[in-house]
Amino acid sequence: MSVTDNLLKTIDYAIDKRTGHLSHMDISGVIVSANSSGTYQVLINNVQYEIPNGSGISFKKGDLVWVHSPNGNFNKKFIISSRVSNSKSFNNSGSGQAGGGSTISADDIITDEEIDAMF
């Protein structure tokens, strides 16, 4: 293995070590009900959670959603978008299960503050 290969391998390892916790920041869930407080009951891995809506989208029972945990902290979770079934992409406009607009990748969701916190 060349010096360049070793250097690149070391850089990859360092990046993975510093950002590994970010790989599990988003998880899918199903809306169970809307609460009068503006939060939603969301079923994630067979457990219901009361989660605030940060998406600006109105949801109904059965809608699939993406829930974001800033920097991997599940205690600060919030709904970030609707989720189209059979897809790993975000839909950030419209309402209901299928949304109604363009999609963006999960990488586009990371904020400048989260990037700064990594380093």
Domain CATH for 109: 2.30.30.140
Distance (Å, rounded) from C-alpha 61 to C-alpha 63? 6
Within-domain flag for 2: no
pLDDT at 50: 96
Is pLDDT at 12 greater than 90 in this prediction?
no
The mean predicted confidence, pLDDT, of the chain is 76
Within-domain flag for 9: no
pLDDT bucket at 32, cuts 50 / 70 / 90: very high
Within-domain flag for 84: yes
Within-domain flag for 114: yes
- What's the whole-number mean pLDDT along residues 16-38? 82
Is pLDDT at 66 greater than 80 in this prediction?
yes
- What's the whole-number mean pLDDT along residues 92-109? 47
Q: Which of 78, 67, 19, 23 lies closest to 45 in space, CA to CA? A: 67
Is pLDDT at 94 greater than 50 in this prediction?
no
Within-domain flag for 4: no
Distances (CA, A) of 110 to 18, 58, 62, 74: 15, 22, 26, 15
If one counts the domains in the chain, the total is 1
Residues spanned by the domain of 50: 24-118
Lowest mean per-residue pLDDT among 30-34, 68-72, 107-111: 107-111
Give strand pairing partners of 53: 79
Within-domain flag for 6: no
Q: What is the pTM of this model?
A: 0.55
